[in-house]
């Protein structure tokens, strides 16, 4: 089979592991930088040009599109779809997953547990917003943040008002969210491939840190999901239309609450924590579908 990995950096752990896993199963595999693909559109003849040449026959792609290049990366994935190439992440689902608000609305409709979340169009009525989110302490999140940057725990209503006003003034969009204290600075990542949890880990923030992101100094360990957690994670990935998903959940007094669903989840943390060959699961997913 001819498999192409869409990745801006062939040296990333996830990219390298996917190449290894594809080769181990005797496939032809190539890393393509989606940012350097040109797209040619004409009547019934979609073409992708890469490094001056028309791309050869491809059976499947594995999109690994970073948040900063969602727009162009998605256009390239869509072009492959027009060529009837199997993709482990559909362009529609990719776009959907990058919009935090739309994602929360989809997850809510699917009946999943979520931290109560408020979003407004720079409303001046800050008191009402904080009250709707359950009152202080609240979490304030920049809409386009990643790796824990732009996620703030605000202890009092006064402080929340100042922070929201400051962001409003900068025209930076934020969501205000109920703070789930009992999560204890930890969250759970369930890695899903083709409707199955292939690995799960618990990430614990460093001492005195409520954010569990590994980039913020958190540590990961393997965990066995409860039935309720597993069901919630699978349902979340399905609602988002993602064949591959990293579902992040908080353990709360009222059961698992979905924080976000990642459409290009990294392999390094989860493979190291679980000792599992997740890249191999992804290649086998392709084999079942092409």
Ligand X SMILES: Nc1ncnc2c1ncn2[C@@H]1O[C@H](COP(=O)(O)OP(=O)(O)O)[C@@H](O)[C@H]1O
Residues making contact with ligand X (CB under 6 A): 115, 139, 141, 145-148, 151, 177-180, 183, 187, 210-213, 248, 250, 259-260
Could you tell me if residue 180 is left (phi over 0), alpha (psi between -120 and 50 degrees) or otherwise beta?
beta
Per-residue tokens: 130: 């904080």
* Shorter beta-carbon distance to ligand X: residue 85 or 200: 200
The DSSP-derived string for 226-243 is PHHHHHHHHHHHHHHT-S
Could you tell me if residue 99 is left (phi over 0), alpha (psi between -120 and 50 degrees) or otherwise beta?
beta
Per-residue tokens: 156: 């009092």
Q: Give me the least distance between CB of 145 and ligand X, in Å please.
A: 5
Task: Let me know: does 194 contact 180? Beta carbons within 8 Å.
Answer: no
Q: Give me the least distance between CB of 140 and ligand X, in Å please.
A: 10
* Shorter beta-carbon distance to ligand X: residue 147 or 221: 147
Neighbour order of strands in the sheet with 196-204 = 219-222, 196-204, 186-193, 244-252, 255-262
Q: Give me the least distance between CB of 14 and ligand X, in Å please.
A: 17
Q: Give me the least distance between CB of 260 and ligand X, in Å please.
A: 5
* Shorter beta-carbon distance to ligand X: residue 27 or 98: 98
Residues 281 and 271: their CA atoms lie apart, in Å, by 11
Q: Give me the least distance between CB of 139 and ligand X, in Å please.
A: 4
* Shorter beta-carbon distance to ligand X: residue 73 or 246: 246
Instruction: Report the relative pairing of strands 53-54 and 47-50 from DSSP bridges.
Output: antiparallel
* Shorter beta-carbon distance to ligand X: residue 93 or 174: 174
Residue 29, SS3 per DSSP? strand
Q: What angle is formed at CA 178 by the lines to CA 175 and CA 179, rounded to 5 degrees? A: 110
Q: Give me the least distance between CB of 122 and ligand X, in Å please.
A: 21
* Shorter beta-carbon distance to ligand X: residue 37 or 118: 118
* Shorter beta-carbon distance to ligand X: residue 15 or 177: 177
Radius of gyration of the chain (CA): 20
Is the bond into 248 cis (omega within 30 degrees of 0)? no
Task: Let me know: does 190 contact 247? Beta carbons within 8 Å.
Answer: yes
Q: What are phi and psi of 54, to 5 degrees?
A: -70, 135
Q: Give me the least distance between CB of 211 and ligand X, in Å please.
A: 4
* Shorter beta-carbon distance to ligand X: residue 4 or 141: 141
Q: Give me the least distance between CB of 248 and ligand X, in Å please.
A: 6
């Amino acid at each position: 089979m001819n498999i192409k990995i869409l990745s801006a950096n062939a040296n990333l752990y996830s990219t390298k592991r996917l190449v290894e896993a594809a080769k181990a199963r005797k496939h032809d595999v190539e890393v393509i930088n989606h940012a350097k693909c040109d797209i040619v559109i004409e009547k019934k003849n979609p073409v992708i040009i890469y490094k001056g040449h028309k791309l050869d026959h491809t059976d499947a792609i594995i999109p690994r599109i970073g948040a900063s290049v969602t727009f162009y990366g998605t256009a390239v994935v869509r072009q492959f779809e027009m060529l009837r190439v199997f993709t482990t992440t559909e362009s529609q689902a990719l776009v959907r997953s990058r919009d935090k608000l739309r994602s929360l609305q989809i997850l809510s409709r699917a009946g999943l547990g979520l931290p109560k979340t408020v979003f407004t169009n720079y409303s001046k009525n800050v008191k009402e917003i904080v009250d709707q989110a359950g009152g202080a302490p609240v979490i304030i999140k920049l809409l386009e943040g990643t790796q824990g940057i732009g996620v703030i725990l605000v202890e009092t209503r006064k402080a929340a008002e100042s922070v929201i006003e400051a962001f409003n003034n900068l025209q930076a969009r934020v969501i205000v969210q109920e703070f789930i204290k009992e999560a204890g600075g930890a969250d759970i990542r369930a890695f899903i491939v083709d409707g199955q949890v292939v690995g799960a880990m618990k990430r614990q923030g460093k001492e005195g840190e409520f954010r569990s992101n590994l980039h913020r100094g958190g540590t990961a360990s393997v965990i066995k999901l409860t039935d309720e957690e597993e069901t919630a994670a699978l349902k979340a990935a399905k609602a988002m239309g993602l064949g591959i998903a990293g579902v992040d959940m908080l353990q709360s007094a009222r059961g698992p609450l979905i924080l976000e669903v990642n459409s290009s989840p990294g392999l390094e943390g989860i493979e190291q924590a679980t000792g599992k060959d997740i890249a191999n699961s992804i290649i086998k997913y392709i084999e079942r579908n092409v």
